[in-house]
Every structure is written in C-alpha cells, then in structure tokens.
Homo-oligomer: A and B are copies of this chain.
Amino acid sequence: MSQPRGPLSQLRRGHEELVLGLLRKHGPLSRGELGRRCGLSRTTLYDILAELVAGGAVVTASERETPRGRGRPAETLTLNPDAGQAIGIDFARRGLHVAAINLAHEIVGSASEPHDADLPWEQRVELAGRLVGSLTGGTLSLGALSAIGVGVVGPVAGPAGGPKEGDTRDDGAGEDGAGGEEPAGPHPAQVLLRERFGVPVLLDNNTRLAALGEAIWGAAAGVRDVLYLRLSHGVGGGLVVGGSLHRGAYGLSGEFGHITVDQDGARCDCGGTGCLETVASIRAVLDAYRAAGGHAGDVPGLAKAAGAGDAAALAVLDGVGTGIGGVLAALCNAIGPSVIVVGGELAETGTALMDPIERALRAHVMPVSRHRVSLRRATLGEVAGALGGIALVLHESPLLSRYPAGPELTEDLPMTPHDTRPAKENS
C-alpha cells in the first residue's frame, strides 16, 4: 500500500482528491459528468478512476433508468461507503482509542481498549491495527486510506523543532535520569504505523486533539474561544483562541495539570510540587476518597457513590472541583474564552464535580465575565482525541487554518533501528 511521494505522485493524489471531492459533493456521477466537472483530460480521468476503483475507493453502479429511456443504462461512479479515508488513533496513557471516517467524511466507527501503562509500542500499534480492523464489523476497506492522525501523551511541537513526544518533563531529577534531552527522529508510533499502513502519519498531543474534536463536533462546536480541560489519569487540556487551535511555543500549551495549586502539596511526576494533577487526576481523587473512608476502585464506583449521596464522595469532589474552578477562573481572566469544556473520565461524576467547579469559577473570575463564560461537559467521550486526529488529517476545519503542521512521517522508512520503548508519560 506504500506510495511513492514524489511530485508526480503528489499531482496524482491531487487529481484523486478532486475526483473524490466531486463524488462527495454531488453523489453518484457518470464518467461524462465527472469529466465535465473536473476539467481533467479523458485519459487522465479514466486512469485515475481505474486506480480508484481498483483500490476500492470508488464503486460502479448502473443507473436504474436512463434519460428518455434510450440506449443502454449509463454506468455511474460513487464513493465506496466501506472505504476508510482517514483514521485517528489516540495512544492514551492506559488505553487506546481509534476512529475512522469513510470517503464521504462520515464517521464509520470508533473503538477503545484499555491496556497497561507500560505496554510496548509494538504491541500498542498491533492493538491499534486490530481495533481499526474491527470497525464496522471488519468490512472497512483501507485501500483508499490517505493518512493517519495520531495523538500521543506529552508535548509535540511542529516540524520547526522543539520538544517531541517522549521529551521528558524532568530536568534529570525524574525516573529515568535521562536529563530531558529530546530524542531525535520520528516517534515510534509513527514509524510502526507507517510500516503497517504505508500512509503518512501525522502526530500531535492527544489532549490537544481532544480539544480540537470537542471544538469541531462536540460541546463547543462553532465557538471561537474555547478552553478544554481533561481530567483523566493525567490532567491537561487545549485552547482554541480566536478561532484557531493553539499549539504554543515548543508545543507546550494546555498543560493545565501542571499549574501549581498548593505550594506545600505533593510531588508531581513532572518534577514540580503541588500541581493541579496531584489533586485532580483519577488516582489523586480516588486516593483522597479512600483516605476519607470511602470505597471505590474506579471512577464509575466513585460516581455511583456521589450519585447516592455518599458524604465522603461529595466532600472529596467538592474540594477537587473548588481547586479546579479556581484555576479555570485564573485562565479565564488571562485568555478570555467564552466556553469552558470539561472532559475526561472524572467529568462522568457529573454535578457532584461540575457544581463546585462552577461555583469556584464564578467566585474567582472577574465579575464582568461571570455571566459571559459558559461551563459545559464534554460530549464526545473517550474518542474525542481520535476524532481530533481525523480532523488533523482532513485539515478542513477553520480551527486548523493557521495551525502549524505537525511532525509528519511520510518519507521512506529509515534503515536504522528505532527506540520503540514506551515513551515516558507524565501528562
């Protein structure tokens, strides 16, 4: 499936996109209608169509009736509804999420599977391949696949440099003592996915991709200034400012989880002390609940307790929400979003968490903003990041019109072996 990437193949790819775009817009068209609309020579068009049909992207059908009932039925061409055009994969800390769209840009399915945090990259990519295969009952044809958008944990900068995923947040004081040097070259997920699928693989931070998903299809669809906070095993987020997704210098924006909330607080994985993540991550919240005498092994258990009016659960979530709301208020004053979206597993605890967040937000935001900013729960669930990966590939959203291109692995695979250990994951 691997394609050459020279200028001629780029031109061919452009012609293919032109034809696919016409079929997406107009539905089934005959070769003659396509020819009139696309402006390509008959030879080029037929050549392109033959390839698209052979690759499974386009299927032929006979029209039931021809105009004026004369001649043999005209053959029309239509997008193959089972052909995947783009895949999004979110390699989260302890699980992965995939989503795919077909050539009509309809989401054909999504799937998730948890795994251990130390699962090696080969096995993560293997699992991703199996999940993609399972979409729509295994009928998804990948012959028309154009690219894969991948979210990973940690900072991801653009091609101009800056930290890549795997960049440790520690200055040498961390678990591996590696000193925080940036690894050169592509991310292991990119290399392995490129090997497996033979298409370009674009990379970005997975939480920023979730923000993108929510701002295109989710709780903040159509909003120009959005702050997205994700409360999961890590705490992070993303920003849409003035109608554009924001990456930040060095790819380091949206690291809300590492804002200090308690100078005398617990040590954080990032090397800091008292970060929001040390009180608002899943582990921190469950630990606090257990310390308050509660019993819940996971977030659904905690949510159930809170829903049943368990005092300890409510008190813990109240305290956590108050801290979160204070941070959100500060960020509101600084950045001026009109919508704040809270996602991640902990948001599933519902009003027990959202109400204290809202109270603290309203109490600490500038009074003039108090009734202007809207707090909403995320709506896309755990596949938000995978959907954001698809958006990154399509690059059709105005939110991405000014977004710097992320690291894209499209070159021939290098011959040297790559470091495929699991990246250090701190967010």
Contact = CB atoms under 8 A, between A and B. Distances in A.
Contacts of A171: 367, 370
A242 B246 contact: yes
Contacts of A239: 241, 334-335
Copies of this chain, complex-wide, total 2
Interface stretch (A83-91, A325-333, A407-415): A325-333
A336 B247 contact: yes
A235 B155 CA distance: 31
Contact of A256 (B253, B258, B260, B334): B334
Nearest to A172: B367
Interface string A171-192: 1010000001000000000000
Contacts of A334: 237, 239, 253-256, 259, 331, 334-335
Contact of A372 (B170, B241, B244, B250): B250
Nearest to A169: B368
A399 to B, nearest CB: 12
A258 B167 CA distance: 34
Contact of A252 (B246, B326, B368): B368
Residue picked from A224, A251, A258, A260, most chain B C-beta under 10 Å: A258
A335 B367 contact: no
A402 B270 CA distance: 35
Contacts of A402: 242-244, 402
A253 B372 CA distance: 13
Interface string A245-278: 0111111111110111000000000111000000
Contacts of A237: 334
Contacts of A224: 249
Contacts of A338: 249-250
Nearest to A259: B330
B367 A260 contact: no
A329 B259 CA distance: 7
A237 B336 CA distance: 12
Given A241-B242, A252-B333, 4 more contacts: A239-B241, A239-B335, A242-B244, A250-B338
